Amino acid sequence: MRSTTILMAAALAGPALAGPPVQEHSYAPADIQAGQVLYQGNCAGCHGQAGDAVEGADLGTGRFRRGGADEDLIRIIRGGLPGTSMPPHEFLSVGDARTIVAFLRSLPAGGMAVDEAEVRIGDAARGRAVFEGRGECTACHGIDGQGAMLAPDLGRAGIELGPATIERAILDPSAEVRAGNRFYQVVLAGGETVTGRLLNQDTHSIQMMSDGRLVAFLKADLRGSGFVPSPMPSYRDELSGDEVADLVAYLLTLGSEDAP
Amino acid sequence: MNRNGIAIVLTAGIAALACVVPASAQITAERLLEAADEPENWLTYSGGYDSLRHTTLSGITPENVADLRLEWVYQVRSRAGAAEKFEATPLVVDGVMYTVTPPNDVVALDALTGRVFWIYSHTPSQDARVCCGRVNRGVAIHGQTLFMGTIDARLLAIDARTGRLKWDVQVGDPRLGYALTVAPLVVKDRVVVGPAGGEYGIRGFIVAYDVETGEEAWRFNTVPGPGEPGNETWGGDESWRTGGGSIWVTGSYDPDLDLMYWGVGNPGPDWNGDSRPGDNLYTDSVVALDPDDGSLQWHYQFTPHDEMDYDAVQIPVLADMNWRGEDRRLMLWANRNGLLYVLDRATGEFLHGSPFVEVNWMDGFDENGRPNQVLAPSEGGTLIMPNNQGATNWYSPSYSPETGLFYIPSWVDTFSVYTKRPVEYVEGQQFVGAFPTMAMPALGTRPTNVRLPEEGYGAIQAVDPETGAIEWMFPMTDVTDSGVLSTATNLVFAGGREGYFYGLDARDGTMLWRQSLGGQIAAGPMSYAVNGRQYVAIAAGAGLFVFALPE
């Protein structure tokens, strides 16, 4: 599996991406535990319990766009990221921030998760051809706001998702649908249906993105509403193993500067 | 409820829902031009290129406004934002509301319920410095793209559907005081902004970017450099380099004349003009620009060589009216300096000027509309009316074609003592002089108010532009930073620092409805409709409040 790891590192190289996570050393369980407490108190409010609540900043993947080294992460935690919603947390000491990093590194995918190394990564240029051709992926997925908006935009797939996540989404798309990508359907009083991504809901109303449009409904006006399975088909029998590997390679380039 | 009852409710639901999914979500240049044809939407900061801040929606009337009730509230989510003034006027596009909470969070809301579709949060750089609050007045839209200026002087293009960033450009250097608080203006395929920062010795400009790419198309220097006309009005030792001339509020556009109008802020330093002898063009002026290349077509300067901080930070109001027997394209302008102006907006010709509050710094105009200034700051101190915050400021006025009246948020009977002190320019620091005295806080509120009426108060004033006569006044004990919305049904909505939001009779100023919102109103009201039902929205304190009649 050594060669695969090297291939993956190559696919991830580029100025927009710092490469695979840089874990300088192992962490003491006490640090991880202390970091978890600080994470719950200071981070989970926005990033969520699993670290995946902020779009584009899934802390659980162990892949960090703005430098993956511990010192980079400590600096970001304490100084914030101007131009994003990440505020500074100067009240956390460097030592405190280091324990939070220790906790993040302890998350299942925070290091180099074993299954990531099992994923076969092919040729990104061929993968692009599959994406735009035989795979018909562009019928539903757009990139950076261009193209279809039925399914989630993949413009940052290479930053936000790991190879295993991408491969699983291609082969077994309903296995795990991220909370922000859940499909929802409302049935209007006349029986027509509107389907799309659920963006928000409350006791009385529903907010959705349906085919590139923001739409809202009052539940009192509806005959029914509810989640529906992902309309994404499995490509297990549609694409060859090589094609899937190529597609994974291509998607890993999205968001980095070496897209073919 | 029996079965029949339910069936009836469901049928009613179909008709309503048919409108929920609109035919087109693209805001084309044509739709912006014809915004008056879709009063259910509010597509630009001032509700239309003519900036009348006037709605033709007719659901809410003087007869039923007393029944107006709170429909929903959106609270500012960040702690830092909640501590700032909430100055934005929302846009509404086909049932989706877009606004900005301080400092720079764009939020897409369901206009029916106030629930969030998405939030785009921009944390400004620590380099940002602003004289008057970490505020933002709203977004502009073109196609499927929203535009927001940030207090660290960036212009961001954001996908209106997803809240994703499309491009961003650095408009100026925030370390030198350049900041964007203005709601951008889209004309044709350009998005136009200009920087705040006149209190930091910036050199102002108006700049246009391609809506698709963010590429700069043209730039007009509000403080002309060597070789540019107007530079000769900046005497002294390169005083133009730190001449101010901020852009605080959104311009207007006349598509028939193909002219864009912007008000320009004060010269720097604010309160001592000795280092900048001359008129200091184009500060305290309105400039008429060709939107295709930014070239200056005409200008009018309200306050030459200003030392009283009398920015022309007002919305150019483009009214077509009968002027002394002739139909003319006019521009109405109630200025911070206490004077109401009527200009011909094709030529810039000065047609009328008269005070709308007590004014003592000038005593008349020459035939070209140049004021005859009789008072200025002095080393011993000079008492000048109106005060430094002005007779009005950035708060949007409104013009109603129905009543023919111009509604001005006013600070009445105010004065400041201006004292001239030496000023030195230091990069990134305030470049102003001695702050003038004022009876009331320039910004924000205090929880109590024990001032005397003769120390100044706030009012909504209705002025007949043709005569300058004040037709009616609705006085408030505290001053007001609220904009005004007028309606075709003869209502005026406005508020003030006390946190009251009012529905007034546009014809005589009678108070028909009031609601306490518990926080200062420092934003302009607007109106929209969803499924045929009219709403009125206003930001106050740290909340956005939306009202409608009971269903």
Of A101-115, B39-53, B139-153, minimum mean pLDDT range: A101-115
C-alpha B203 chain-centroid distance: 21
If asked whether residues A64 and A86 sit together in one domain, one would say yes
* B372 at A interface, C-beta within 8 A: no
Calpha distance B275→B278 (Å, rounded): 10
Question: CB A214 to CB B122 under 8 A?
Answer: no
Question: CB B154 to CB A144 under 8 A?
Answer: no
Q: Is the dihedral of CA A116, A117, A123, A124 positive or negative?
A: positive
The answer to whether residue A6 sits within a structural domain is no
- At B153 the pLDDT is 98
Mean pLDDT for A236-242 is 92
B74: chain A residues, CB-CB within 8 Å: none
* B514 at A interface, C-beta within 8 A: no
If asked whether residues A196 and A246 sit together in one domain, one would say no
If asked whether residues A88 and A200 sit together in one domain, one would say no
* A42 at B interface, C-beta within 8 A: no
pLDDT digits (tens, 9 = 90+) for B244-258: 999 999 999 999 999
If asked whether residues A95 and A27 sit together in one domain, one would say yes
Average pLDDT, chain B: 94
pLDDT digits (tens, 9 = 90+) for B263-318: 999 999 999 999 999 999 999 999 999 999 999 999 999 999 999 999 999 999 99
Which helix H or strand E contains B29, and what residues bound it?
helix B29-33
A136 Cβ partners below 8 Å, 6+ apart? none
If asked whether residues A66 and A169 sit together in one domain, one would say no
The answer to whether residue A10 sits within a structural domain is no
B154: chain A residues, CB-CB within 8 Å: 83
The answer to whether residue A90 sits within a structural domain is yes
Question: CB A209 to CB B168 under 8 A?
Answer: no
A83: chain B residues, CB-CB within 8 Å: 122-123, 125, 154, 168
CATH label of the domain that carries residue A187: 2.30.30.600
Shortest CA distance to A96 belongs to which of A48, A41, A34, A40? A34
Question: CB B125 to CB A83 under 8 A?
Answer: yes
pLDDT digits (tens, 9 = 90+) for B516-541: 999 999 999 999 999 999 999 999 99
What 3 state SS string does B282-342 have? CCCEEEEECCCCCCEEEEEECCCCCCCCCCCCCCCEEEEEEECCEEEEEEEEECCCCEEEE
pLDDT digits (tens, 9 = 90+) for B315-353: 999 999 999 999 999 999 999 999 999 999 999 999 999
Please give the residue range of the domain that contains residue A198.
Answer: 179-228
Considering only CB atoms, B113 lies closest to which of A199, A209, A216, namely A216
If asked whether residues A80 and A158 sit together in one domain, one would say no
Of the residues B10, B17, B98, the best mutation for testing chain A's interface (the one with the most A CB atoms within 10 Å of its CB) is B17
Shortest CA distance to B502 belongs to which of B459, B471, B469, B442? B459
B 84-143 residues with CB < 8 A to A = 95-96, 105, 108, 110-113, 115-119, 121-126
Considering only CB atoms, A149 lies closest to which of B11, B95, B161, namely B161
The answer to whether residue A8 sits within a structural domain is no
Search chain B and give the residue with CA nearest A205.
B113
If asked whether residues A183 and A173 sit together in one domain, one would say no
A211: chain B residues, CB-CB within 8 Å: none
* A191 at B interface, C-beta within 8 A: no
pLDDT digits (tens, 9 = 90+) for B31-62: 999 999 999 999 999 999 999 999 999 999 99
B 136-175 residues with CB < 8 A to A = 144, 152, 154, 159-162, 164, 166, 168
Considering only CB atoms, B166 lies closest to which of A145, A188, A200, namely A145
The answer to whether residue A12 sits within a structural domain is no
The set of catalytic residues of B is: 309
- At A210 the pLDDT is 92
Most confident of A17-21, A147-151, B322-326: B322-326
Residue A246 is given by DSSP the state H
pTM, rounded to two decimals: 0.84
B80: chain A residues, CB-CB within 8 Å: 87
If asked whether residues A162 and A52 sit together in one domain, one would say no
DSSP line for A207-242: EEEETTEEEEEEGGGEEEEEEE---PPP-TTTS-HH
Considering only CB atoms, A145 lies closest to which of B21, B152, B164, namely B164
The answer to whether residue A88 sits within a structural domain is yes
CATH label of the domain that carries residue A86: 1.10.760.10
Question: Hunting for tokens 């008056």 — which residue is that?
Answer: B36
If asked whether residues A162 and A224 sit together in one domain, one would say no
| Residue B306 CA: distances (Å) to CA of B151, B268, B388 | 26, 9, 11
Name the token pair of B25: 């979500």
What ipTM was estimated for this complex? Answer: 0.84
Last residue of a domain, one of A67, A87, A111: A111
Question: CB B117 to CB A199 under 8 A?
Answer: yes
If asked whether residues A53 and A96 sit together in one domain, one would say yes
Q: What is the dihedral of CA B429, B433, B438, B443, to 10 degrees?
A: -20
* A237 at B interface, C-beta within 8 A: no
Is pLDDT of A258 > 60?
Answer: no
If asked whether residues A170 and A103 sit together in one domain, one would say no
pLDDT digits (tens, 9 = 90+) for A58-104: 776 666 655 567 787 888 888 887 777 788 888 888 888 888 888 88
Calpha distance B195→B174 (Å, rounded): 10
- At A178 the pLDDT is 78
B252-254, strands of its sheet edge to edge: B252-254, B259-263, B285-289, B296-301
B118: chain A residues, CB-CB within 8 Å: 199
The answer to whether residue A27 sits within a structural domain is yes
CB B550 within 8 A of CB B67: yes
- At A68 the pLDDT is 66
Per the structure, the count of domains in chain A is 3
If asked whether residues A90 and A37 sit together in one domain, one would say yes
pLDDT category of residue A21 using cuts at 50, 70 and 90: very low
Question: CB B122 to CB A190 under 8 A?
Answer: no
B152: chain A residues, CB-CB within 8 Å: 82
Of the residues B1, B21, B105, the best mutation for testing chain A's interface (the one with the most A CB atoms within 10 Å of its CB) is B21
Percentage of residues of chain A with pLDDT beyond 90: 34
Cα atoms in the Cβ-side hemisphere of radius 13 Å centred on B471? 18
pLDDT digits (tens, 9 = 90+) for B179-188: 999 999 999 9
Question: CB A223 to CB B118 under 8 A?
Answer: no
Which segments within B77-139 are labelled E, that is strand? 91-93, 96-101, 105-110, 116-121
Question: CB A207 to CB B116 under 8 A?
Answer: yes
CB B34 within 8 A of CB B132: no
Last residue of a domain, one of A111, A144, A160: A111
The answer to whether residue A193 sits within a structural domain is yes
Search chain B and give the residue with CA nearest A153.
B162
Scanning chain A, the segments in alpha helix (DSSP H) are 2-12, 29-42, 44-47, 70-79, 94-106, 114-118, 124-132, 157-160, 163-171, 241-253
Is pLDDT of A172 > 70?
Answer: yes
Question: CB B121 to CB A210 under 8 A?
Answer: no
Domains of chain B: 18-439+451-548 (2.140.10.10)
Question: CB A200 to CB B152 under 8 A?
Answer: no
